[in-house]
Structure 1
Amino acid sequence: MAVLVTRPDERGAQLVEMLNKSGIAAIHLPLFSISAGRELNELPNKINQLNAGDIIFVVSKNAVKFAAETLKSIGFHWRNDVQYIAVGQSTACCLSSLSEQTVIYPFAQENSEGVLNLPQMQQLHEKTVLILRGNGGRELLAEQAKARGAKVDVLECYQRIPVAYDDNIAQVDLCKRSGVESLIVTSLAILQALIEFVPPEEQNWLKACRLVTVSRRIANFAIKCGWKSENILISARADNASLVETLVTTRTSLD
């Protein structure tokens, strides 16, 4: 069994290395690269404008990384009188480490729906929610926070930039010759890009591959696109260690 890893940049490369060390052959084919967001220079002012008790919500470790680097470069310290919320444990730990602040996350359901179920997100009248994220992305949390009375401010901390390959057919042929039978896809945008990347004549191969993903939402979209539900695995969390554990456990059960 070989695994195609589509997670971008360093985290994708680290995942490949972790899988190889676990005895699972892996190939890295990132479909996006990650770069600094176009609104990062506005971040210090946005944080200064918050009132005590307002909320800073961070969607990913990429948002944490670029935000923290920006603030550190000007000697700006994260405020200790606002609330910090992250979408999952990995992002929360990263933000807590770099900001030296307590960060809340939805332990049982690490997604936007889980965040919206947190007690801190129920009464938002006269509060501001500052969302740190990449370009594009899901609008559910922003929409629901507004519906609950919050003023919502969205700031682009990073950009997803499509990676251009000289020959898509050659890349797909390499995957097939390498025995790729499983795909790791960690976002809806990546899944959409992967479907567009693979030529029409290879779509049957693509959708016969087992899909390892990180949310029911992505799984449901994959089913609509042609994957069989029994051929989709949902990792308990989106971090690399959890993805490796999902694959190792499945391999062991199949053996």
Structure 2
Amino acid sequence: MADHALKGLKIAVTRPRDQAVPLVQKIEQAGGIPLLFPLLEIAAAPDTQTLHEQVSRIARSDLAIFISPNAVQYGMAAIRAAGVALPASLRIAAVGQGSARALRELGIADVVVPVDRFDSEGLLALPALQDVAGKRVMILRGDGGRELLGDTLKARGAQVEYVACYRRSKPQLDMAALLREAPDALTATSGEALEHLWQSAVESQRDALRDSPLFVPHARIAGLAQRQGWRRVILTDAGDDGLLDGLIAWAGKQDSGCGIQDSGLRN
């Protein structure tokens, strides 16, 4: 990491509070000023009895898929609380490297995970998820979310069970306070979070946001930002490291007088 590459730049970090810490630290280490502005809140699933009953069935599953690091945190906690041992025959998969890393930190070394596209489409393209006819698949995730993964696995003949092991909620946002801080750039790591940000802003606040550089780690989020009218969308590699690399590259172009580079996502 280049020392002080982000010196003096205010970067809005919009991950849920607990998940924001690593990116906040990376920005600080690069000399930037992180502005913590969580767009979503994460909490354990309220229906613990149903969750207990569901995770108890993981012992009879052939494949367990963890959608996010939150799914790992709350899902594995529920599995431990239920006193269930993961069978040796159970295959474990994760949508992204962050989830895979969280699983490995819990001692699960063999994780099926995409190597370049970290989303449902990337996972579904892997050989391990092709021949699933008759297999029992458990998908651990938050409440709601995309259905592509489960629908595709069902179409391939799998028996799919969703397990909502945590819930997302949308806090009331103080948009005026964010704009008073005058961030030099913002980050957004989910479409749901970006939607909440946009819906919480009045038109004058949206006008102020549209010209702010917005760093996103996935083309789907970038497409949403483009439809909302953001004019400076920068698509980065996945994860905190990808966001940080994108921020540092952008800051370097600012220093050199080159200005922001078109992300290729604008009309």
What is the TM-score when the length of structure 2 is the normalising length? 0.85
CA contact (8 A) 1:93 1:103 kept: no
Paired residue for 1:130? Answer: 138
Residue 188 of structure 1 aligns with an amino acid whose one-letter code is: G
Contact 1:212/1:232 (8 A) holds in 2 = yes
Residue 99 of structure 1: CA displacement? 4.5
2:104 partner letter: S
Alignment partner, residue 188 of structure 1: 191
**Match for 1:233: what amino acid?**
I
| Partner residue in 2 for 1:199 | 202
Displacement after TM superposition at 1:241 (Å)? 2.9
Contact 1:6–1:31 (CA under 8 A) maintained in structure 2: yes
Q: Distance in 1 between matches of 2:114 and 2:60?
A: 26
Contact 1:33/1:163, CA 8 A, preserved across alignment = yes
Corresponding residue number in structure 2 for 1:41: 52
Question: 1:237 maps to what in 2?
Answer: 238
Distance in 2 between the 1:138 and 1:74 partners? 27
- Tell me if the contact between 2:138 and 2:160 (Cα under 8 Å) persists in the aligned partners: yes
List aligned pairs for 1:9-24, cutoff 5 A.
9-24=17-32
What are the within-5 Å matches in structure 2 for residues 160-171 of structure 1?
A: 160-165=168-173, 168=174
2:3 maps to which residue? Answer: none
The structural deviation recorded for 1:217 is 0.8
Give the equivalent residue in structure 1 for 2:263: none
Query: 1:153 aligned to 2:158?
Result: no
Secondary structure at 2:92's aligned position in 1?
Answer: strand
- What secondary structure sits across from 1:35 in the alignment? strand
Deviation digits for residues 182-220 of structure 1, max 9, x if unmatched?
A: 111100100100001112221111121111111111111
Deviates more, 1:41-50 or 1:201-210: 41-50
Gaps of 5+ in 2: 1-8, 256-267
List runs of 5+ in structure 1 lacking aligned partners.
Answer: none
Q: Which residue matches 2:96?
A: 88
The corresponding residue for 2:113 is: 105
Q: Could you tell me which residue of structure 2 aligns to residue 222 of structure 1? A: 225
Q: Which amino acid aligns with 1:89?
A: Q
Looking at both structures, which has the greater relative contact order when contacts are Cα pairs under 8 Å and sequence separation is at least 6?
1
Structure 1 contact 43–67 (Cα < 8 Å) conserved: no
Shift of 1:93: 1.7
Q: Would you say the 8 A contact 2:114–2:122 is kept in 1? A: yes
Hey, what does 2:12 align to over in structure 1? 4
Within 2, Cα distance between the matches of 1:86 and 1:69?
16
Native 8 Å contact 2:91 2:111 kept in 1: yes
The aligned counterpart of 1:177 is: 180
Q: Separation in 1 of the partners of 2:205 and 2:151?
A: 38
The amino acid across from 1:80 in the alignment is A
Aligned partners of 1:202 and 1:164: how far apart in 2?
15
| Distance apart, 1:127 and its partner CA | 1.0
Cα deviation digits, residues 80-134 of structure 1 (max 9, x gap): 2011110111211211331434101010111111011000111221112210000
CA RMSD across the alignment: 1.7
Q: Partners of 1:226 and 1:82 in 2: how far apart?
A: 45
CA distance change for structure 1 residues 45 and 72 in 2, over 3 Å: closer, same or farther? closer
TM-score of the aligned structures, taking structure 1 as reference length:
0.89
Is the 2:55–2:163 contact (alpha carbons within 8 Å) kept by the matching residues of 1? no
Point out the more displaced range, 68-77 or 107-116.
Answer: 68-77
